[in-house]
Chains A and B, each alone.
Chain A
């Protein structure tokens, strides 16, 4: 599979939380279809690909993977005089990335818009010293008001307009790699699983609505009832101005999280798989909430043993999220290896704490 191409296509696809069906879900479904035995969706729009285990044992363990396919974005709240659009955020958007940004407004048809600001010639020193608030900003779609009112409605969603930049052959920059990179990892993993004899049933879930509260993972985990749940998300990579101890390194392998959200034996299993494959991993410590689907999965029904594998990424929640393709590939391979090691015995051990 051409994972670079998938990353590019997925990054540029539209799928703001709650609107994943508009575009990204179709791409994911298409790419996943050749890699699983069946695909289903649920009431929240999660895409669930099932790859059945390679044994006839009726009590096969269930391993669920979760990578969220939704992205942060904006939503139209008002059409102003002149046809300018006011908006709010869907998920956590730093308003400071918005001035001068191009966006796509998903009205009756996709419209290019600009989040315009006053030129510096007309901006006072005091104004220039203040950060823009989201409430001050607007989208200009360069159309007469009547046309805007015909094409756009309050509630229409908006994404960043952003082509992927191929910074090097291994480094891509673009929007929504958080967490389309996680979806890519699942695809690599499914592809890789072809090389293994697998005891477990694998549920690869492209989840919805993570950015607004882990909602897709919450309900899909309930429906699947997995023994083990592995969330795949992005974590912060080194960034100028951020202390090293808060970040991982880009291009040096995926990060494995430890902490209350993570079952120690799943962590160990992932670590062991990495060692067996000679894949470097980076430690990541989360005292409580990981802010990922793992947080919701862990407490579904009567509890799920969770793990978290992350792709180091710079500038998370901007439109220039930057990552290394090699980290995505490594994460996929390592998870596949881990899955191949899961059997009924491993699952049984998950409840043994003494």
Chain B
């Protein structure tokens, strides 16, 4: 399944149905065996010799959930996952299974006090308008608890630069599917399409407990702030400069032997890599590392500008690099690498 299809699917944390169904259909057509667990993770299997290795990508994306329907038909919502509420104003959204269109309105500039423009609109003052004039009318289309995604189309902006919602972490899901196309034999490969990463790495936590892996590799769409106004030392990663390797983030410190091996493999295979020069943010590697008695982990990421906003941007060359590096690493495990 290509990125365009993957990013078009709806999968706010806890509501990963569409993504899961899509991935399961793809696994079926590829003839790859899998099972689902009680948190909704999809765990695909390949190979049955050697160490147990998890490769993890999360299916969920940040979004909104409807918390209340006002008398006059406006919808109140909460954010699911880390969203800066400043990006929500004047955006289009799709609500619930039937993708009811809505817009996040804001007070007209003409009706604002002079200094209002300098203040952030508090998230409890934001609402979604679906054109309903009463609660009853609204309830014919949406209900409390419906999940909300950004209405963003996939688009290639220039050669290899892609714009979409939810690249964090459909890009990882796409890589996992690619990796599963390879023949794997001397490895017990567990490809975990995880749920609920954005609300606390919860899918990966239970998946890793169940699998009890010997090592884990998280594949992420990660922060990239190589943009004006952000000093070089705070940019984290740079678009088009290769797969990003974590040195340390807020949740885990990658195993040094694994990290060294990834760097060695990148050099040996001419795969462009960069370090993720930030310690903030975390990913499923943290949950995998701490499952049961623990295991070594590392992260390979694709830099994505503007993640956790309605539209993010990535470079296909970074995607390709991350994919190549993951495959090279797993081959190395088959060849005997152990952390």
Contact = CB atoms under 8 A, between A and B. Distances in A.
Interface stretch (B33-41, B182-190, B200-208, B303-311): B303-311
A167 interface: yes
B129 A322 contact: yes
B278 interface: yes
A122 B309 contact: no
A111 B74 CA distance: 34
Chain A interface category by residue count: 35 or more
Interface stretch (A9-17, A47-55, A128-136, A265-273): A128-136
A317 interface: yes
A291 B108 contact: no
Contacts of B101: 165-167, 173
Interface in A104-137: 111-112, 114, 116-123, 128-133, 136
Interface stretch (A223-231, A235-243, A275-283, A301-309): A235-243
Interface string B105-121: 11111111000011111
Interface string B66-96: 0000101010000000111011111110000
A144 B239 CA distance: 11
Interface stretch (A35-43, A87-95, A188-196, A329-337): A87-95
B106 A318 contact: yes
Nearest to A173: B103
Contacts of A140: 227, 305-306, 313
B129 A162 contact: no
Contacts, number: 207
B227 to A, nearest CB: 6
Most chain B beta carbons < 10 A, residue from A118, A119, A133: A119
Interface stretch (B48-56, B153-161, B293-301, B319-327): B153-161
Given A82-B228, A142-B313, A315-B105, A96 B117 contact: yes
Contacts of B118: 130-131, 133
Residue from B82, B104, B111, B151 with most neighbouring chain A CB atoms (10 Å): B111
B278 A318 contact: no
Given A138-B228, A240-B70, A95 B306 contact: no
B194 interface: no
Given A95-B117, A315-B108, A122 B228 contact: no
Nearest to A250: B133
A129 B109 contact: no
A317 B92 contact: no
A102 B307 contact: no
A263 interface: no
Interface stretch (B15-23, B229-237, B262-270): B229-237
A112 B109 contact: no
B141 to A, nearest CB: 9
Q: How large is the interface on B (under 10, 10 to 19, 20 to 34, 35 or more residues)?
A: 35 or more
A319 B106 CA distance: 10
Given A100-B91, A121-B281, A138-B227, A144 B158 contact: yes
B335 interface: no
B147 interface: no
A82 B109 CA distance: 32
A171 B100 CA distance: 13
Contacts of A170: 131
B163 A142 contact: yes
Nearest to A118: B225
Given A165-B103, A236-B110, A117 B157 contact: no
A1 interface: no
Contacts of B226: 82
Given A114-B163, A167-B101, A317 B109 contact: yes
A99 B228 contact: no
A162 B237 CA distance: 30
A107 to B, nearest CB: 12
B193 interface: no
B125 A99 contact: no
Contacts of B329: none
B105 A314 contact: yes
Given A101-B90, A131-B117, A242 B107 contact: yes
Interface of A: 80-82, 84, 86, 92-97, 99-102, 111-112, 114, 116-123, 128-133, 136, 138, 140-144, 147, 162-163, 165-168, 170-171, 173, 236, 238-242, 246, 250-251, 291, 314-320, 322
Given A118-B227, A320-B105, 9 more contacts: A96-B121, A99-B87, A100-B88, A117-B84, A122-B280, A138-B227, A138-B228, A140-B227, A316-B110
19 contacts: A84-B228, A94-B109, A97-B90, A99-B89, A99-B309, A114-B311, A118-B230, A119-B307, A121-B223, A162-B92, A165-B92, A173-B103, A173-B131, A236-B108, A242-B111, A291-B110, A314-B129, A317-B109, A322-B129
In the A-B complex, the 9 residue pairs with the smallest Cβ-Cβ separation, listed nearest first, are: A167-B131, A142-B157, A171-B131, A100-B87, A97-B90, A320-B103, A121-B281, A316-B108, A142-B161
